[in-house]
Amino acid sequence: MNTNRSLFGFAWRVAAFSFVMAGTASLMQAQQSASASNAPLFPASAFTSPLDLTASSLIGTSSSSSSNDALPSYAKLDLSSESLGNRQPPPRRTYGRPSYAGTNSNPDGSQKWFALGGGALALPVGNTHKYETPSWGFQAGVGRNFNKAIGVDLEFNYDHFGLQAATLANQNYLYGTQGAGLDGNNHVWSFTLEPRYALPTRGPLGAYLVVGGGYYHKVTNFTLPESGTYCDYYGYCYPYTANQVVDHYTSNAGGVNGGVGLTYKFSKFSNEEFYVEARYTLVLNPQRYGVTASTPIATLNSYTGNNYYPQNSNRTTYIPIKVGIRF
């Protein structure tokens, strides 16, 4: 009985071992057949060898060619220097001119609105110089720039002049006031519209052309010293002598002007600038007739009018020179 059990156990172990060996042989034969007909997708070396991250491997040199060649064709990367060198960068994006946003900025960066103020000399020229002498003047205004080159000003100008000694002598003769201290002055004030064009320049220095016109009011006053007495609140009285207007002439007319100017900017990014300009000004006064010192005595004695200074209504020409700041 024990002998039979031993034989049965031995036979069962032999059969199990034979079955395992047969299965192993069949599996190895199937693997060999598969390797002969179709290579694996990734060889074992691809998983066992370390990853090569050197510069020579990344740019496709011979040191990395073996690892790269081991991959299938669809998995290979062309990292050669020729391939990388032939690749062009994407095209750069193009940009237009900068646009400046703001309530006081034009699209080109120029200042939209500005103000100006200045003063200096007033020089009579031409026929006007025969009656008047140089003096002083000032101006103030506001304006609008449409871009860096074109702008327009609305200005008020006041130009003051003295009177030539010959003019005063002629008036002394007409008034019969020789030796009484006759004096006088003349001035022109105006409201004008002045378009400007800035010439192309570089750096802080600039230049511009200006031409305009508007309304001109011309005034001539003749004065004589008069004495009087002034009494204050407390009852004290003081004698005084002051020039009083004894004759007065006005003339209103349209006029035109044109000239050139120079500018100097404080800095590249500032709006403020110094300017100096000179303009030739022509006032188209309507001529009024009267009497002068050259009028014949007979005509002068029979004259019943009141225009003893018709020169005030002559056409007026002068050059105002102004220095100021535009901001």
CATH number for 267: 2.40.160.20
Read off the amino acid at residue 312.
N
pLDDT at residue number 63: 47
pLDDT tens-place string over residues 274-291: 999 999 999 999 999 999
Whether 120 and 82 share a structural domain: no
Whether 82 and 166 share a structural domain: no
pLDDT at residue number 305: 94
Of 69, 86, 103, the position where a domain reaches its end is: 86
Whether 35 and 136 share a structural domain: no
pLDDT at residue number 26: 63
pLDDT tens-place string over residues 45-56: 544 555 555 545
Whether 195 and 320 share a structural domain: yes
Domain count, the chain: 2
Task: Find the radius of gyration of the CA atoms of the chain.
Answer: 52
Query: What is the spatial distance between Cα 65 and Cα 5, in angstroms, rounded to a whole number?
Result: 66
Whether 169 and 217 share a structural domain: yes
Whether 139 and 231 share a structural domain: yes
Query: What is the spatial distance between Cα 36 and Cα 42, in angstroms, rounded to a whole number?
Result: 15
Residue with tokens 């000399």: 121
Residue with tokens 């030796």: 179
Residue 41: pLDDT over 50: no
For residue 283, what are the domain limits?
113-326
pLDDT tens-place string over residues 254-266: 999 999 999 999 8
The answer as to whether 104 is a domain residue is no
Whether 6 and 136 share a structural domain: no
The answer as to whether 96 is a domain residue is no
Whether 155 and 23 share a structural domain: no
pLDDT tens-place string over residues 148-197: 999 999 999 999 999 999 999 999 999 999 888 999 999 999 999 999 99
The answer as to whether 101 is a domain residue is no
Classify burial at 241, counting beta carbons within 10 Å of its beta carbon; exposed 0-12, middle 13-18, buried 19 or more: exposed
The answer as to whether 95 is a domain residue is no
The answer as to whether 92 is a domain residue is no
Whether 142 and 232 share a structural domain: yes
The rounded Cα 267 to chain-centroid distance in angstroms is 12
Whether 8 and 123 share a structural domain: no
Residue 78: pLDDT over 80: no
Whether 82 and 190 share a structural domain: no
pLDDT tens-place string over residues 82-95: 555 566 667 776 65
64 or 307, higher pLDDT: 307
Query: What is the spatial distance between Cα 176 and Cα 167, in angstroms, rounded to a whole number?
Result: 14
Question: How much of the chain exceeds pLDDT 70, in percent?
Answer: 70
Of 86, 105, 140, the position where a domain reaches its end is: 86
